[in-house]
Amino acid sequence: MLQQLLEQGYEEMVAIRRHLHMYPELSFHEVHTPAYIANYHRELGLEVREGVGGRGVVATLRGAKPGKTVAIRADFDALPIQELNDVPYKSKNDGVMHACGHDGHTAIALGLAKALVKMQDELTGNVVFIHQFAEEITPGGAIAMIEDGCLEGVDVIFGTHLWAPMPLGEIQVREGAIMAAADAVNIHIQGRGGHGAEPHQAVDAVLVGAQFVTNTQAVVARKVDPLKPAVFSVGHFEAINSFNVIADTVQLKGTVRTFDADVRDVMEREIEAVLKSVCDANGATYTYDYVRGYPPVVNHAAETAFVANIAQQYATVSTTPPMMIGEDFGYYMEHVPGTFFFTGAKNPAWEAVYPHHHARFEFDERAMLIAAKTLGDATLQYLAQ
């Protein structure tokens, strides 16, 4: 019955997604989106908490009989990107775009809620819809919502990410670590400025920074167990100077991605060791700020196998290799068992497929129905156990 209800509600699910796409809001600045979500659930008759952890919404559907509680999580923040797609539902908020699929995640949860409400008299147990703000920016919304009680009474949590690079009709799962811990590194190198024609009288911060970037590549190659993945990428290197001036300061920003806690410690320690040695050798000083971001997303074995078995009814299921991208869903699974999976959303007819966080990002909306059926069936079967 649930599958038929979801199919009947698919057009509304699409309409919800497109409405949200037109009115995106940045992380930690979401106002109208959580209000829209709360009103939708309230009209369905669910118990609704607003302002959870700051801007989150938690809606609870209570079945006719007592039982276990399943949580479904959906994020709803957007990105600071100017949309370049020419579609009727193009973003109306200048410089802001749903370029990662969070509008779709929210539409999936709302569509599933509406279908399950119609089955409320048959439900044994409860379903909690966790609508999370600020997934895109650390510290993220998950940890604040957990501290505000969004997981109270929850026995298991399920989540999915619509994944544009993967074809429609496919679902990828993975037991254990599926997404990496995502940390930030902020560095200030202080040298001594001077004339470009007299480098011997200066301490060139650009040279020091360049040596640092080059030398840190040996951290992964020579300090980390080669069987344990790690990445350090410098994405920002700034020295604002005239062409003929030796820079006295350089700002660097980068990201570290790991799966293993010990490797995370090694990266934090050894990157600074390289920085110190390079600065000492050149007579420069530095400040080093290593910011621990999201933990790795580590799926629980039983719950992953459970969802994978159910998903086979709606898609081709395979095992994904671990991905170095970050997600704060991992916080939830530090408290309750659960699993997070990828739902393929690439239209096979599209000639060009743009990556997540691109100004022309788009996904095949039919993927929302596949995800909703998988999450909904998993919810019902878990409650029926």
Which residue, 87, 170, 162, 79, is CA-closest to 363?
162
User: What b/e readout covers 231-243, taking b as 16+ CB neighbours within 10 angstroms?
Assistant: ebebeebebeeee
316-319 and 170-173 as β-strands: parallel, antiparallel, unpaired? parallel
170-173 and 156-167 as β-strands: parallel, antiparallel, unpaired? unpaired
Q: What distance in Å separates the CA atoms of residue 73 and residue 371, rounded to the nearest whole number?
A: 12
**Tokens coding 4:** 């038929």
Residue at 365: amino acid letter: E
Residue at 267: amino acid letter: M
Cβ neighbour number for residue 210 with a 10 Å cutoff: 14
Q: What distance in Å separates the CA atoms of residue 83 and residue 221, rounded to the nearest whole number?
A: 39
Cβ burial, residue 145 (10 Å; 0-12/13-18/19+): buried
Can you name the residues that pair with 117 across neighbouring β-strands? none
Catalytic residue selected from 25, 75, 135, 364: 135
**Residue 280 annotated among the catalytic residues of the structure:** no
Catalytic residue selected from 30, 77, 155, 270: 77
Q: Indicate the annotated binding residues for Mn(2+).
A: 100, 102, 136, 161, 357
CB-based contacts of 10, cutoff 8 Å, min separation 6: 111, 368, 369
**Tokens coding 21:** 């796409």
**Residue 328 annotated among the catalytic residues of the structure:** no
Cβ burial, residue 41 (10 Å; 0-12/13-18/19+): buried
Question: 175 — alpha (psi -120 to 50), left (phi > 0) or beta?
Answer: beta
Q: Indicate the annotated binding residues.
A: 100, 102, 136, 161, 357
Q: What distance in Å separates the CA atoms of residue 306 and residue 341, rounded to the nearest whole number?
A: 12
Q: Give catalytic residue positions.
A: 77, 135
